[in-house]
Amino acid sequence: MNSKLSYVWPPILIAALFLGAWQLLVVIQDLKPFLLPAPSLIATEFSNGAMLMWSAAFYTGTTAFLGLLFGTVAGLFMALLAQRFITVDKLVAPLAAGLATVPIIALTPILNNMFNITSRTPRVLVTAIIVLFPIFVNVTRGLMQVNPVQLELMRSLNAAPRTTLRVLRIPNAIPFFFTGLKIAAPLAVIAALVAEYFGGPQQGLGSRIASAAANTAYGRAWAYVLAAIIMGLIFYLTIIAIEKCVTPRTTKTVKTT
Amino acid sequence: MTSGPNHAAKTGSALAISNVSKVFNKGNSNEVTALSDVNLDVHTGEFISLIGPSGCGKSTLLRVIGDLTGFDSGSVQVSGKSPADARRERLYGIAFQQAALFDWRSVSKNIELPLELAGWDKSRREARSAELLDMVQLSEFGTHRPWELSGGMQQRVAIARSLAVDPPLLLMDEPFGALDEMTRERMQNELLRIRQETGKTIVFVTHSIPEAVYLSNRVVVMSPRPGRITAEISVDLGERNELTRESDHFFHSVTAVREALRLHDTSGSNMSAHRGDI
């Protein structure tokens, strides 16, 4: 218990010190909100607009969630295909590097024209494409980077490739899948937010941040940013919680012979 | 060179290898003759060790027997069948230097893996894994995860797994190579006890001369470039016990194996080993 508390206190203390210093800086230097609003102002705006914050976060959160879901499914499917047809593990790394350089968010205006701009569809699509890559790359790696001795064991047991996939490759890929998901979840939130900057329905967090900033309501803009941060954290922590449930690897004491 | 075809005629042949050769990277500049004209007969219930320096082809020979790799010429018969058929019919179990247990499965489920793939139903699988856990003296650890076990215990689980479908032949590729000396000696006794209980034929690859002598009925000495069998030394220590390792008989056999190894080493001692164990 004591040791658990010692993990919790330092970050809280640092956060409190940081916010205190920020507040002090704004007050002493008399900084204008368009330069840097005080934490107290952001907090006031946040609590005053709590309902609006919630509905905006819910809209963008739904986009992020749908994108994460479809992107994950597509990424898993592609990884299974890749495992089937790419036999050399070495191909995965350059493929991953190549895909990482594609500026997917820049596709948004194009997708807005291709699909109905007044719908959520283009935003979900952009989010899904962004999510797809980390899932695909990590899961493919997990399916391919299998202990060669274990593969040999499967061969000695006369296992068909499909059986080896089910019994060895997929369980081996699960930690890799969660690594991919932990990268993908915050990316999904960012993508869903930024996709709103290119027009379309205005009820999301991204739209609200843009319009608040345009209307010189800087405190409110920052309050929406705070809501976006909280949403990203919720996504991330949910993934961690699921991972903990699926892979209970609490290390116990090692027994001796 | 004393081969033992007479044994095979007497008690049935577990393994018959004749004139087997294997070349890696054939036709390339880095061509390596891994096995050259290897002849070996193992009769049912025999324990033989393959020993030799790195690159002598002992692991390759084991992998040829298990159909984990092919060979270029000659013939191999495992219980009268081709290695591919023997593998398909699950006529051998194998244990490697790495225990290679699946972390995401409990110890019991690891032992049940070959049974699952052989299509046994759940109740039979569980009964069999309990029986095997008992045999390797890990009954309390069935529900543990492999990474909760020590190296020696993991290797015992791997041996139990290799025995799961009760195959007549056991192939072992330096299974105790990563263990400390004390654990290793204990494991050797365990293996001999299991062999006594099950009557398996065992082909055992090792680097260690005392280990080969202590375990085997026959030590097969191999030498590299090209990989071939250079001597076969019969060991007759009778029932092994705690005094065996200190007996004159044991020392004589160790010396005989050591000299057989050295005899063929001098010819190539000035050539540095430029390849790993193939």
- Chain A positions touching B150 (Cβ under 8 A) are 254-257
**Shared domain check, B106 and B242:** no
Residue-wise pLDDT for A96-127, tens only, equals 677 667 777 788 888 888 888 788 889 999 99
Interface pTM, i.e. ipTM: 0.86
Place of tokens 């995401």: B104
Distances in Å between the alpha carbon of A24 and those of A18, A32, A38, A219, A225? 10, 13, 9, 17, 21
Q: Domain residues for B149? A: 99-166
B178 touches chain A (CB under 8 A): no
Q: Is residue B24 domain-shared with residue B74, that is, in the same domain?
A: yes
Give CA–CA dist A125/A122, Å, rounded. Answer: 5
Task: Inform me whether the C-beta atom of residue B100 falls under 8 Å from chain A C-beta atoms.
Answer: yes
The bridge status of strand B13-24 relative to strand B73-78 is: antiparallel
Contacts of A218 (CB under 8 A, 6+ apart): A33, A34, A37, A212
What pLDDT, in 10s, does the model give residues B101-134?
A: 999 999 999 999 999 999 999 999 999 999 999 8
Count of structural domains, chain B: 2
DSSP class of residue A165 equals I
What pLDDT is recorded for position A88?
Answer: 60
Which residues, other chains included, contact B62 with Cβ-Cβ below 8 Å and sequence gap of 6+? B50, B171, B173, B203, B205
Evaluate whether A202 touches A187 at the Cβ level (below 8 Å): no
Share of chain A above pLDDT 90, in %: 45
Position A125 scores a pLDDT of 92
A62/B174 Cα distance (integer angstroms): 56
- Domains of chain A, earliest start first: 53-246 (1.10.3720.10)
Question: Using a CB-CB distance cutoff of 8 angstroms, which residues of chain B are in contact with residue A155?
Answer: 68, 87
Question: Are both B156 and B19 inside the same structural domain?
Answer: no
Cβ atoms of B249 and B240 closer than 8 Å: no
Residue B277 counted as domain residue: no
- For residues A121 and A134, give the distance between their C-alpha atoms in angstroms, rounded to a whole number: 21
Q: Is the pLDDT of residue A2 over 70?
A: no
**A156 and B66 in contact by Cβ < 8 A?**
yes
Residue B98, phi then psi, degrees to nearest 5: -80, 135
Query: How far off is chain A from B150, nearest CA to CA, in Å?
Result: 5
Residue B265 in this model has a pLDDT that exceeds 80: no
Interface test with B, best of A149, A157, A174, A250 (most B CBs within 10 A): A157
Confirm or reject contact between B219 and chain A (CB < 8 A): no
Whether residues B56 and B172 share a domain: the answer is yes
| Total residue length of chain A | 257
Q: Considering the entire predicted model, what is its pTM?
A: 0.83
Q: Is-contact B235 B253, C-beta < 8 A?
A: yes
| A202/chain B closest Cα distance in angstroms | 47
Mean pLDDT, residues A165-174 taken together: 94
Give the span between the Cα atoms of B278 and B43, in whole angstroms: 26
**B171 and B249 share one domain:** yes
Q: Which residues of A touch B141 (CB under 8 A)?
A: 255
**Does residue B275 lie within any of the structural domains?**
no
E strand map for B47-198? 47-51, 73-78, 92-95, 169-173
Which pair of structure tokens corresponds to residue A73? Answer: 């499914």
What string of DSSP letters covers B10-61? HH-EEEEEEEEEEEESTTSTT-EEEEEEEEEEEETT-EEEEE-STTSSHHHH
**DSSP SS3 for A254:** coil
Distance from CA of B118 to the nearest CA of A (A): 8
H-run or E-run covering A80: helix A50-85
How far, in Å, CA of B40 to CA of A227, rounded?
Answer: 75
Question: Same domain for B114 and B175?
Answer: no
Tell me the torsion sign for CA atoms B233, B236, B241, B247.
negative
Q: What's the pLDDT at A177?
A: 95
For A111, A178, A221, B141, the CA distances from A192, given in Å and listed in that order, are: 13, 21, 17, 49
B92 at the A interface (CB within 8 A)? Answer: yes
What per-residue confidence (pLDDT) applies to A92? 67
Please say which residue of B120, B151, B166 terminates a domain. Answer: B166
Q: Are residues B178 and B256 in the same domain?
A: yes
Cα separation, B227 vs B61, in Å, equals 9
Instruction: Pick from B96, B101, B155 the residue to mutate for testing the A interface (most A CBs within 10 Å).
Output: B96
Examine the domain organization and report whether B193 and B263 are in the same domain.
yes
| Contact assignment for B149 to A147 by CB distance below 8 Å | no
**Which CATH number do you get for residue B250?**
3.40.50.300
Question: In this structure, are residues A177 and A216 in contact, taking their beta carbons and an 8 Å threshold?
Answer: no
B169 DSSP β-pair partners:
B92, B201
pLDDT of A248 strictly over 70: no
H-helix or E-strand spanning residue B231: strand B228-234
